[in-house]
Amino acid sequence: MAEAIFKALLLVFASTAFATTEAALGQRVPCYFVFGDSVFDNGNNNVLNTSAKVNYSPYGIDFARGPTGRFSNGRNIPDIIAELMRFSDYIPPFTGASPEQAHIGINYASGGGGIREETSQHLGEIISFKKQIKNHRAMIMTAKVPEEKLNKCLYTINIGSNDYLNNYFMPAPYMTNKKLSFEEYADSLIRSYRSYLKSLYVLGARKVAVFGVSKLGCTPRMIASHGGGNGCAAEVNKAVEPFNKNLKALVYEFNRDFAEAKFTFVDIFSGQSPFAFFMLGFRVTDKSCCTVKPGEELCATNEPVCPVQRRYVYWDNVHSTEAANMVVAKAAYAGLITSPYSLSWLARL
């Protein structure tokens, strides 16, 4: 997998001329819908009463529109996917979007969002995966988007990280780690995930890219809290493994049991190796680029940031830099980390 990620270098540094030519050819899919957590959120949490919001500097320091609520210094993964799919603009957040936007695409992702309803409740208001699907249903119904169009749209989902970071590996009020083993917890999450994917399928979703959970134990936050401050937290990464394994199996289950399903699994976990990061130009993989105060997770307001952001994997203590987002998005588009379909192939099916 490290070798596959390394090959993504060719895509990360694709020429501007190629991108311009591609953009002139029109959208690859008629619409694009985004679900998930802070990795995909592009501003939905700005209007919520929550501590999980980043509409302030230095977030967006490398984004033309400044701090928009994206949990990065620049573009996030859905932004880059939208570019690769030849959309003329980024997919807007659900909050503030009119129902008519459902004909083009909407981003429903919410920082802190999880598969379980109670996940991240200590942060304040959060839009869970269940509520995101409810919002999607309301928007497409109000806009009267034809099912045949919805069948051709692209759907990307990144959910599950907070069910570990802000639930299983958190103290009270969360009790899941005292009641369930790693395998039992993963099974419970997948049962819910299956139900939610079925709901999306009923609502017309056919081309769906499901992102697995990354090596959470290697985030600066978990290195500090569960890794003793010295190296990745092996226990956390071990807990995530059965979830990813079962999620990939769930994708194949849908492709087998639903004739029109064209689901694909995006494996972020396996490619996160020191060798791959080094060969891709990253030099700092265990520390945040921005200033994060002790015991915090997000960047401190208007505090210094690292001089060369592209050399860092992590922007704050959990979320990745635009450079890391670029690698994941382009590798998924090319099929280097997906199974069974690349995003580019998914668009053509």
Q: Which burial class, exposed, middle or buried, applies to 21 when counting CB atoms under 10 A from its CB (0-12, 13-18, 19+)?
A: exposed
- Of 37, 41, 267, 316, catalytic: 316
- Residue at 16: amino acid letter: T
Q: What order of strands is seen across the sheet that includes strand 105-107?
A: 105-107, 32-36, 154-158, 207-211, 262-266, 338-339
- Of 41, 214, 319, 320, catalytic: 319
- Of 38, 120, 214, 342, catalytic: 38
**By the 8 A CB rule, do 125 and 50 touch?**
yes
Tokens of 215: 């090596």
For residues 32-51, one letter each, b for 16 or more C-beta atoms within 10 angstroms of the residue's C-beta and e for the rest, the string is bbbbbbbbbbbbbbbebebb
Asked if 41 is an active-site residue, the reply is no
Asked if 37 is an active-site residue, the reply is no
**By the 8 A CB rule, do 110 and 132 touch?**
yes
Tokens of 104: 């083009």
CA dist 67 and 80 (Å) reads 17
Question: Degrees (nearest 5) of the Cα angle 109, 113, 119?
Answer: 175
Asked if 344 is an active-site residue, the reply is no
Q: Is 129 helix (H, G, I), strand (E, B) or coil?
A: helix
Q: What are phi and psi of 251, to 5 degrees?
A: -60, -45
Q: Kindly list the catalytic residues.
A: 38, 316, 319
